[in-house]
Amino acid sequence: MAILPRSIPFQKYYMLLILTDGVVTDISETRDAIVEASCLPMSIIIVGVGNADFSDMRALDGEDGILLSSYGQEAARDIVKFVPFREFKKAPTSALAKYVLAEVPKQVVEFYASQGLPPEPHKQSVIPPRRGENGGDGQNGGDGGEQTRAEGATS
């Protein structure tokens, strides 16, 4: 995989969602575009809607092996996930979402690893207490009736 110049910012990772109800008429150009995009910080999710023959879409998914462009270049990594919507018609919405997004974390990690960029540590969000939380007036986070350990301690 080509390592991109450091001048290109990698703070963002992109997801392209394609909804289609038919077959691809320009499959070789599509394959070429996906192979070229495989070194970029992006994932492509294709959802096939309807009863069309989506065999070309399945081939773009890369599950049959490494995707090749029309001129023989290998995709740097698998960035496409194809989902036939008809297989999830009777399933809960969460099942479709889970299946569609299942590969994305792996794709993100693979991209940043290919660029020699380790993931940044998770930053814990600090959410300040809301005013009036715990039955108090929002000041000191309580109702004023509690004692601190030092105030209430007796020996």
pLDDT tens by residue, 42-89: 999 999 999 888 888 888 887 778 899 999 999 999 999 999 999 998
Query: Among 12-16, 42-46, 150-154, which stretch is predicted with the lowest mean pLDDT?
Result: 150-154
Which percentage of the chain shows pLDDT scores above 70? 76
Contact assessment for residue 35 and residue 71, using Cβ atoms and an 8 Å cutoff: no
The domain segmentation of the chain, as residue ranges, is 14-114
What are residue 15's phi and psi, to 5 degrees? -130, 125
Question: Residue 24: CB partners within 8 Å, gap ≥ 6?
Answer: 30, 56, 57, 60
Question: Average pLDDT of 8-33?
Answer: 86
pTM for the full predicted model? 0.70
Taking the C-alpha atoms of residue 24 and residue 46, their distance in angstroms, rounded to an integer, is 12
- pLDDT exceeds cutoff 50 at 151: no
pLDDT at 150: 46
Contact assessment for residue 18 and residue 44, using Cβ atoms and an 8 Å cutoff: yes
pLDDT at 144: 47
